[in-house]
Amino acid sequence: MIRAAEAAGNLEAAEEWEERLQRFRAARHHRRMDLLHSPVDAAKGVAVGAGMSVGVLVALGVVLAISTGQAGHVVTPLAATIDFIALLIRIVHRPAHHPRRRHLRRLDRRPGTQRERPHRRHDRQHRRAVIKRNHISG
């Protein structure tokens, strides 16, 4: 468009298109630079948020310790939060039941199929209990 306007002798349109091209290039440069800096900014935001959360929990613990008169209560809110996060992780990351394990649990529930556990280490090496369907041989 710039070359067409210059060829036609319309310098005002050529200047307008040149100005638009410069604005587009500057905007594209800023977008690309923002893409480069956004992971660093996100990491900083997460770190600041975590630090502020810990600070608020410790401040809450200080208030709790002052009201109860026991200094050990300073870390109670922080410990409760850590326990809650651990509970959520255990709930979400519950391992699926393996079919082989279910089969063994069914065997263990049947009467007369309980495996004998050796009491000593040398017994473990010499005696191996073989589980068959309704019968144990050792």
Describe the crossing of helices 11-68 and 76-92 by its angle, rounded to 10 degrees.
120
Q: Mind listing the pLDDT tens digit for each residue in 29-56?
A: 999 999 999 999 999 999 999 999 999 9
pLDDT recorded at residue 94 = 74
Q: Mind listing the pLDDT tens digit for each residue in 92-135?
A: 887 665 555 555 555 445 555 555 555 555 545 555 555 565 65
> How many of the other CB atoms lie within 10 Å of CB of 74?
19
Tell me if 76 sits within 8 A of 84, measured CB to CB: no
pLDDT over 70 at 1, yes or no: yes
